[in-house]
Amino acid sequence: MKKILLTLIVFILFSVSVFAASRSAGGDTTDDARKAMESERLENAREDLQEKKVAVKRVTERVKERLATVDASEAGLKCGDLDNIDERVKCRLNLEGRDRYKEAQLQFLPEECRAQDGDARSRCIRVYKLTQQCWESKDDKLRISCVKRNMGLEKPVKEEIASCKELEGDERVQCVKDLRESVYDSIKFRFYNLEEKAERLLEAGKIDEETVAKLVSDLETKKIEFNEAKTLSEKKVIINEVKEIWKNFVKAVREYNGGIDEN
């Protein structure tokens, strides 16, 4: 009886140890599987991040690649050698062959570019040349969309910002800087669009040259001030001033046409 009891005890102890070992082995297997899944998840996350970085680089380099194909030479650009902005604007308004909407070529040296030096001046000229094709359209929205597309803003700004946030360190800083520059360029080209609208009204005989020259001169000055503004609030003030300038111009057009709104 004692032998049977002893044998039973030994069997029970052996069974318990085997069961414990089995559970331990199963636990190790579960842990290994969990670690493997976590490793795979991290690897997929790294691949996704890398893909996003590549996509963002395409966004930030989009404008640079396009600008690199444009000649920054000032050769052939007229009116830039005159003494003051009023004379230069009138020269611009009286250029022969005002069919640049068809030719999509920049004929004059923009005041904004004239006020800059070195690389900034070259980039400015390239940007204007790159976007000349956008003025072929008579539709405001199409012109602005064309400019934004040429400036690399093919997605809403919020999405572009989110893309920049996917980056880290210097890449993120550069992405935000490039995006800010493109956004500011698109804002200034809204000023430019107002100039083009005014010049079309002049060509149609719906406003006099002096009034258009003053508008263009004022808006060109505002573009320079916009570049020089250090803070976002200062830039907003300039945008509001441009709105007021345009409002007064529209009023002048209405009066010129006997009270008929030609805007």
Residue 82 clears pLDDT 50, i.e. is over it: yes
Share of the chain above pLDDT 90, in %: 26
Q: Look at 28-32, 74-78, 101-105 and tell me which has the smallest mean pLDDT.
A: 101-105
Q: Is 208 left (phi over 0), alpha (psi -120 to 50) or beta?
A: beta
Taking only the tens place, the pLDDT of each residue in 208-220 is 999 999 999 999 9
Tokens representing 107?
């004929």
Q: Which pLDDT band holds residue 131 (cuts at 50, 70, 90)?
A: confident
pLDDT reported for residue 177: 87
Residue 233: pLDDT above 90? yes
Q: Between these two residues, 28 and 250, which has the higher pLDDT value?
A: 250
Q: Is the pLDDT of residue 103 over 50?
A: no
Average pLDDT, the chain: 78
Span 117-127, average pLDDT:
89
User: Quick check: 49 pLDDT over 60?
Assistant: no
184 vs 236: CA distance, rounded Å? 11
Mean pLDDT lowest among 3-17, 147-161, 171-185: 3-17
Higher pLDDT, 62 or 230: 230
- 41 or 111, which is more confident? 111
Highest mean pLDDT among 36-40, 46-50, 131-135, 242-246: 242-246
pLDDT of amino acid 16: 43
pLDDT-based confidence at 69, cuts 50/70/90?
low
For the cut 70, the answer to whether the pLDDT of residue 15 exceeds it is no
- Residue 11 is predicted with a pLDDT of 41
